[in-house]
Structure 1
């Protein structure tokens, strides 16, 4: 996930550098293109006028006129050189930015903690389940089961993506410790129903949530023993 963010940063850096290139190229030309059209207005004969034919030009005069660039597009080689230099510099900067982003993402992936499993074991242990069962209202008990997992996941030290919700982050932490998806799906569904719906939450809902909580605890303990 962190690598995907790095690629997004690299793409944004590329877009910024490309935009900077366009602005700098435009600025060096002061609003003009690199190739300028010939200057001056040509006079066209009026209605009924017969254009006067001039004698054939002397070859030497034609050669001299062409060499002077009279009537030909003029290329500003100074601006061409500046543009090429800017392209080279911005290409180097872009390559450095992309390389720097990749190295940072690689480091984050290697150093990212996976969370504190002991906190999760404590949050789903026998004492925690007893506190849930002691809740007078089944709705509050079901909500407490999931909130206990969220709190333990947040305190575990695992890096959270800004785009993740608290529930998504909790699921990712637990699956990192080999907790299966069906157990999490059931507990999360019970939590959403108790928290956001107006349906009656019965002791049966509470017992199912506590059973899912116990299953999470057993899976965490098994992963610790085999790991």
Structure 2
């Protein structure tokens, strides 16, 4: 969502919350009112037949049957509690949106002329062989997770700054994507890690082979960048 859309959503939420608070603390208003008994009813002519009920008694019984009863204090209190809780939930959601907007990652784009690409840290390639060996060992799911976590450890060891809003996986992808590497392979390796870490279906050797191709391409690209940088 854009910044303007977030601000509009926040403004609408504030209006809704204010309406809920007003409705919660306002005095209840009866939707139906009893008839005014002070207004005299017109006289009803008497009928000679005593066995037939008089219209006056029928009218009085009918009015007593349709007269609404006062709302229960318990029901009023329950409605007010629900409205207050709804207002609190809306306030919490608005605060979370504002905090997320404030902590949105501000990553320097590589296309910025003032951005200077750093050299590839040695930590990224120091354990490359060990990383490949982890990927070849054990069940495919565990091997993919172990290899990616080792890559995350290597990226963290470089000491490059990390945005507080980033996860370790996002940080690893952003840092390695700084250099001229195959980003499709990097994204595929990260997707395989998420699949191995969070899915419940079975992973087979085809997933391991995919991860191996991605990882070996990534290592080769980083080594090429180091070689080109050293030649310069």
TM-score if structure 1 supplies the norm length? 0.47
Name the structure where helix makes up a greater proportion of residues. Answer: 1
Tell me the TM-score normalised to structure 2 length.
0.46
Higher relative contact order (CA 8 A, sep 6+): 1
